[in-house]
């Protein structure tokens, strides 16, 4: 670090994204991207007219996209906040609802950006241990009166709370904000968005990066009570009111309107996930019951780190985490049928020695 970096950030440990090696062509199953191209309607939306207007600032109100998202979920535009990826939305949420010196609680095994943002914004973070089977138990959050953020389905485990469990968590304390990070929920089909119409202490965050095949455009959003959304807008307009570019606004609005295309893609991923899960179990793996677009698996007789390294040597990228509780697992993004068959074929060969 330079001598100019503020001492506030001297101990900051940045988030580590999934590796993006360029040394050769890989089957890339390490960052939970969609194996499908965006909807054809997305390509149609990025017209010459939009491109010709790139000399102008985008709409700071993000009206077109907020309206499209609101229509999809049956809420008002005032219930929608849009960010530059769901990471942007999470960051604004931590700033707005915790603040420097405030507190936040989350699972101890979850999305790696939660502790990074807590450290960056001077928030006191409590990481609540998952149960021995890697599940979140909402009763473990009873003692906390600070905001709580939970990835649902959780990452990297893929395990999911039911809507009833989320509602139980909400009802524990009406004066406590619950933030549900539903980046992978389209693959679990049990969103808590409907609960935002009933409770004013719930914020649901989703993304276009996974099920909607737009990771490269960086767009995420939140659904919640109008007053919560206004708080987030205050943070955004105090930081960067032009955080969503014109191309993204048009493309994302077209994507969320094409439910038929993406529903087909989602169902294909779910089918590939379940088929791969069965194949891995036949090879002796313990596979958690993922409701996401990835699989979390451990083999009793083969090191997860070695398996990750061997697959990489063979041109297949998966994700390995060195954290003690999950160091025996690899996370495999669910790709196309052909990609998943390549994974199984290579793992079979590796296990044979």
Report pLDDT for 67: 98
In this prediction, residue 211 carries a pLDDT of 97
Q: Would you identify the CATH topology of the domain 17-37+260-352? A: 3.90.1150
Instruction: For residue 11, name the pLDDT band (cuts at 50, 70, 90).
Output: confident
CA gap 252, 312 in Å, rounded: 33
Sequence-separated (6 or more) residues with CB below 8 Å from residue 116: 12, 13, 14, 15
Q: What pTM was estimated for this model as a whole?
A: 0.96
Arch. (CATH architecture) of 40-257? 3-Layer(aba) Sandwich (3.40)
Write down the pLDDT at residue 216.
Answer: 95
Residue pLDDT, tens place only, 53-63: 999 999 999 99
Q: Is the pLDDT of residue 223 over 90?
A: yes
Long-range contact list for 343-347, CB < 8 A, 24+ apart? 343/27, 343/29, 343/276, 343/311, 343/316, 343/318, 344/276, 344/279, 344/280, 344/283, 346/311, 346/314, 346/316, 347/280, 347/283, 347/307, 347/311
Give the pLDDT of residue 295.
Answer: 98
Whether the domain at 17-37+260-352 and the domain at 40-257 fall into the same CATH topology: no
In tens, the pLDDT along 64-95 reads 999 999 999 999 999 999 999 999 999 999 99
Tell me how far apart the alpha carbons of residues 244 and 42 are, in angstroms, rounded to a whole number. Answer: 16
Confidence label for 10 from pLDDT (cuts 50, 70 and 90): confident
240 — phi, psi (to 5°)?
-160, 95
Segment 263-313, tens digit of pLDDT: 999 999 999 999 999 999 999 999 999 999 999 999 999 999 999 999 999
- The token duo for 319 is 């994700």
Share of the chain above pLDDT 70, in %: 100
Between 17 and 166, where is the model more confident?
Answer: 166
Tell whether the model's pLDDT for residue 28 goes beyond 90: yes
Between CA 195 and CA 201, with CA 198 as vertex, the angle to 5 degrees is 80
Strand 286-287 relative to strand 103-107: parallel, antiparallel, unpaired? unpaired
What distance in Å separates the CA atoms of residue 159 and residue 337, rounded to the nearest whole number?
22
For the chain, the structural domain boundaries read: 17-37+260-352, 40-257
Neighbours of 209 (CB within 10 A): 22
Q: Give every CB contact of residue 133 below 8 A, 6+ residues apart in sequence.
A: none
Query: Is the per-residue pLDDT at 50 higher than 90?
Result: no
Give 86's strand partners: none
Q: Are 353 and 37 spatial neighbours (Cβ–Cβ below 8 Å)?
A: no
Averaged confidence pLDDT in the chain: 96
Nearest by Cα to 275 from 339, 191, 185, 190: 339
Helix and strand totals (H; E) in the chain: 11, 13
Contact between 294 and 32 (Cβ < 8 Å): yes
Q: Is the pLDDT of residue 335 over 80?
A: yes
How many whole angstroms separate alpha carbon 231 and alpha carbon 202?
A: 13
Contact 158, 184 (CB under 8 A): yes
């Amino acid at each position: 670090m330079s001598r100019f970096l503020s001492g506030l950030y001297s101990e900051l440990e940045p988030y580590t994204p999934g590796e993006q090696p360029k040394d050769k062509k890989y089957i890339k199953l390490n960052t939970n991207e969609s194996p499908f191209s965006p909807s054809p309607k997305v390509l149609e939306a990025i017209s010459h007219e939009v491109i010709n207007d790139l000399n102008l600032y985008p709409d700071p109100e993000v009206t077109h996209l907020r309206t499209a998202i609101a229509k999809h979920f049956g809420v008002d535009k005032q219930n929608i906040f849009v960010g530059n990826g769901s990471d942007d939305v999470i960051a604004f949420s931590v700033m707005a609802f915790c603040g420097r010196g405030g507190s936040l609680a989350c699972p101890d095994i979850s999305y790696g950006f939660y502790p990074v943002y807590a450290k960056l914004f001077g928030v006191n973070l409590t990481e609540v241990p998952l149960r021995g089977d890697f599940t979140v138990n909402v009763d473990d959050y009873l003692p906390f009166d600070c905001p709580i953020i939970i990835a649902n389905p959780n990452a990297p485990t893929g395990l999911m709370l039911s809507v009833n469990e989320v509602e139980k968590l909400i009802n524990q304390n009406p004066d406590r904000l619950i933030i549900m990070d539903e980046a992978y929920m389209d693959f679990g089909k049990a969103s808590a968005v409907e609960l935002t119409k009933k409770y004013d202490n719930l914020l649901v965050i989703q993304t276009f990066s996974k099920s909607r095949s737009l990771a490269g455009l960086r767009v995420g959003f939140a659904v919640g009570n109008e007053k919560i959304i206004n708080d987030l807008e205050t943070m955004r307009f105090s930081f960067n009111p032009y955080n969503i570019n014109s191309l993204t606004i048009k493309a994302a609005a077209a994507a969320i309107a094409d439910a038929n295309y993406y529903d087909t893609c989602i169902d294909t991923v779910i089918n590939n996930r379940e088929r791969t899960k069965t194949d891995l179990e036949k090879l002796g793996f313990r596979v958690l019951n993922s409701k996401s677009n990835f699989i979390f698996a451990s083999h009793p007789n083969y090191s997860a780190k070695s398996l990750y390294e061997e697959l990489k040597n063979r041109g297949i990228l998966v994700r390995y985490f060195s954290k003690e509780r999950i160091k025996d697992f690899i996370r495999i993004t669910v790709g196309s049928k052909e990609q998943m068959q390549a994974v199984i074929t290579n793992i079979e060969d590796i296990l044979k020695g």
